[in-house]
Amino acid sequence: MKISAFSLPQAVLGKHNVKNDKLDQADKLVKAKKKTYPQVDLVAEDQAEEADAIIIPQDARTDLILHDLDFVETRLSKSPQDKEKIILEKMKAALEKEEFISSVGLTAEDKEVISGYGLFTIKPIVAVKEEELENMGGLMARVLSESGFITFLTVGDKENRAWLIKKGTNAWESAGAIHSDIQQGFIRAEIISFADFIAAGGETQAKQQGKMRLEQKDYIMQEADLVNFRFNK
């Protein structure tokens, strides 16, 4: 995923590993050759429109609001159709109150209508302090959490790994985070909750205690679920 650093010239751009305490705990209980944290791409502010989230200094909030307000007012001046006009007016009212568009409560259908707009404040926005930039791994973990992302874990054999997904993602969609072939051939997901995994002292012990569940495509993934996807190859 991409995170844009807006008005933060001192931010170190590029790929950053995101610290994950639950993966660290799992790695102590299940041996593997490699431990892989989630990774994000921190990009410059000129890529903010295509980013999944934006980080800003405490005093940059107004800049983003004015950018979006200018865009919305320009669109309204072009006499849009009724459906689009209603959405634009909702967004304009929020921006004029110095609120982000993300606070408006737009529906999925609304977002589809404005999908090509390139608005900033419709995205998750996290205000950061300068000293936080000295610990990028920890900062990115906070940004992901506040932006509505969680992780699930796969453990054992060659690699213990945390995979990044949006909160509310189902098992079938999560399988695609690993590989499209797993998603396409999805049979079921073998799930052990993180709490059960820790309480049992490991994956094998959790299975022996009957803590592994079989879940179907529509199961909503929970933070740090341990998962093994069964699929047709």
pLDDT for 153-174, tens place per residue? 999 989 999 999 999 999 999 9
What are 38's two structure tokens? Answer: 């989630």
CB atoms within 10 A of CB 21: 10
What is the phi/psi pair of residue 3, to 5°? -120, 130
Q: Please classify residue 100 by burial: count the beta carbons closer than 10 Å to its beta carbon, then call 0-12 exposed, 13-18 middle and 19+ buried.
A: buried
pLDDT at 130: 85
* Strand ranges in the chain using DSSP code E only, listed in sequence order: 2-5, 14-17, 34-36, 39-43, 53-57, 125-128, 149-154, 159-166, 186-192, 213-215, 226-231
CATH class name, domain 168-231: alpha beta
Question: What is the residue extent of each domain of the chain?
Answer: 2-20+38-127, 168-231
pLDDT tens-digit readout, 108-129: 899 899 988 989 999 999 999 9
Confidence of residue 136 (pLDDT cuts 50, 70, 90): confident
Mean pLDDT of the 92-110 span: 93
- Min mean pLDDT across 133-147, 157-171, 213-227 is at 133-147
Nearest of 167, 188, 197, 164 to residue 178 by alpha carbon: 164
Evaluated on CA atoms 4, 8, 13, 15, the torsion sign reads: negative
Confidence of residue 137 (pLDDT cuts 50, 70, 90): confident
Residue identified by tokens 């973990």 is 141
What are 2's two structure tokens? Answer: 């991409």
What is the phi/psi pair of residue 115, to 5°? -60, -25
pLDDT at 233: 82
Is there a contact between 35 and 175 (Cβ–Cβ < 8 Å)?
no
Q: Is the pLDDT of residue 191 over 90?
A: yes
Predicted structure pTM score: 0.86
Q: Say how far residue 4 (Cα) sits from the centre of its chain.
A: 13
What is the phi/psi pair of residue 45, to 5°? -70, -20
pLDDT at 118: 87
Pairing of strands 213-215, 186-192: antiparallel
pLDDT tens-digit readout, 10-66: 999 999 999 899 999 999 999 999 999 999 999 999 999 899 999 999 889 999 999
Fold of 2-20+38-127: DNA polymerase; domain 1 (1.10.150)
pLDDT at 44: 95
Q: Is the pLDDT of residue 90 over 90?
A: yes
